[in-house]
Chain A
Amino acid sequence: MTTSNHYSTSQTTTFVKRKLRNNPSAQRWRQRFFLGLFLIFLLLPIYWLVSMSFKTNTEILSGFSLFPKSLTFDSYIEILTDPSWYMGYVNSLLYVVTNMLISILVALPAAYAFSRYRFIGDKHLFFWLLTNLMAPPAVFLLPYFQLYYSVGLFDTHIAVALAHCLFNIPLAVWILEGFMSGVPKEVDETAYIDGYSFPRFFVRVFIPMIRSGIGVTLFFLFMFSWVELLLARTLTATDAQPIGAIMTRTRGASGIDWSLLAAAGTLTILPGVMVVYFVRNYIAKGFALGRT
Chain B
Amino acid sequence: MAEIILRSLAHTYDAKAGADSDYAIRQMDHVWHQGGAYALLGPSGCGKSTMLNIISGLLSPSEGEVLFDTERVNELSPEERNIAQVFQFPVVYDTMTVYDNLAFPLKNIGMAKHLIPAKVHEVADILELTSVLHRKAKNLSADEKQKVSMGRGLVRDDVSAILFDEPLTVIDPQLKWKLRRKLKQIHERFNITMIYVTHDQLEASTFAEKIAVMYDGQIVQFGTPRELFERPAHTFVGFFIGSPGMNFLEVTVDEHNVHFSGLRIPANPRRLQSAIASGSSNIKAGIRPEFIHVWDEPNDEAFEVEVQDVEDLGTYRILSFYLGGQIVRARLNEDQNIPSQKAYVSFPEQWLNIYVDEYRVGDDDE
Contacts and interface: CB of A to CB of B under 8 A. Distances in A.
Interface of A: 1, 4-5, 7-9, 11-12, 15-16, 19
Given A8-B2, A15-B79, A16-B80, 7 more contacts: A1-B34, A4-B1, A8-B160, A9-B71, A12-B76, A12-B81, A19-B77
Contacts of A9: 71
A7 B80 contact: no
Contacts of B312: none
B80 A5 contact: no
A4 B69 CA distance: 13
A5 B82 contact: no
B158 interface: yes
28 contacts: A1-B1, A1-B34, A4-B1, A4-B157, A4-B158, A5-B1, A5-B2, A5-B69, A7-B158, A8-B1, A8-B2, A8-B82, A8-B158, A8-B160, A9-B71, A11-B82, A11-B109, A11-B158, A12-B76, A12-B80, A12-B81, A12-B82, A15-B79, A15-B80, A16-B76, A16-B80, A19-B77, A19-B80
| Most chain B CB neighbours (cut-off 10 Å) among A8, A9, A19 | A8
Interface string B76-91: 1101111000000000
Contacts of B69: 5
| Contact-size category for B | 10 to 19
A247 to B, nearest CB: 49
Nearest to A16: B80
Contacts of B76: 12, 16
9 nearest A-B residue pairs (beta carbon): A15-B80, A8-B158, A12-B80, A8-B82, A4-B1, A11-B158, A7-B158, A15-B79, A16-B80
A19 B80 CA distance: 9
Interface in B50-84: 69, 71, 76-77, 79-82
B56 to A, nearest CB: 15
B60 to A, nearest CB: 14
Contacts of B71: 9
B-side interface mostly: loop
Contacts of A12: 76, 80-82
Contacts of A11: 82, 109, 158
B136 to A, nearest CB: 19
Contacts of A19: 77, 80
Contacts of A5: 1-2, 69
A146 B136 CA distance: 56
Interface in B79-128: 79-82, 109
A5 B1 CA distance: 6
Interface string B165-182: 000000000000000000
A7 B156 CA distance: 12
B82 to A, nearest CB: 6
B360 to A, nearest CB: 36
Contacts of B79: 15
Nearest to B160: A8
A114 B195 CA distance: 47
Contacts of B77: 19
A278 B69 CA distance: 54
A241 B158 CA distance: 73
A7 B76 CA distance: 17
| Most chain A CB neighbours (cut-off 10 Å) among B71, B77, B79, B80 | B80
A7 B160 CA distance: 11
Contacts of A15: 79-80
B114 to A, nearest CB: 19
A54 B131 CA distance: 72
Nearest to B75: A16
A1 B192 CA distance: 12
Interface string B32-52: 001000000000000000000
Contacts of B158: 4, 7-8, 11
Contacts of A1: 1, 34
B1 to A, nearest CB: 6
Interface string B1-17: 11000000000000000
Nearest to A12: B80
A202 B158 CA distance: 56
A206 B34 CA distance: 53
Nearest to B79: A15
A264 B79 CA distance: 56
